[in-house]
Amino acid sequence: MVEIDLDEETDRWQWRCPAGHRSWEPTNYHFWCAQCARGKHPKAEPEFDELRNVKTGDLVERDEVELVRDSESYHSLRGGKA
Ligand SMILES: [Zn+2]
């Protein structure tokens, strides 16, 4: 399981859409990229299944990603240590 803190830009920005944008958002079952949706890349799909880590080259699917948005859930995911 990969954890991405959406409030932490350095954490979030390691992860890119297939076209390399940072403007992705999680949906229930996929990811969605605002830049791709604007159609600058004709072959790019705005919805995609895997995020790519620019540092490691890893690909992770939506169901492998735990998205964390606020500090409360962040701490609870860390085993309750505040
Ligand atoms: Zn994109």
Per-residue model confidence (pLDDT) at position 68: 87
Those residues of the chain that have pLDDT short of 70 are 40-44, 71-82
Domain that residue 49 falls in: 2-77
Give dist(CA 74, CA 82) in Å, integer: 9
Distance from residue 34's CA to the centre of ligand 1 (Å): 6
Residue 41 in domain: yes
Please state, for a pLDDT cut of 90, what percent of the chain lies above it: 52
Distance from residue 77's CA to the centre of ligand 1 (Å): 28
Give the count of domains, the chain: 1
Residue 49 in domain: yes
Residue 23 in domain: yes
Cβ atoms of 23 and 64 closer than 8 Å: no
Nearest alpha-carbon partner for 24 in 43, 4, 42: 4
Residue 36 vs residues 30, 39, 60: alpha-carbon distances, Å:
14, 5, 19
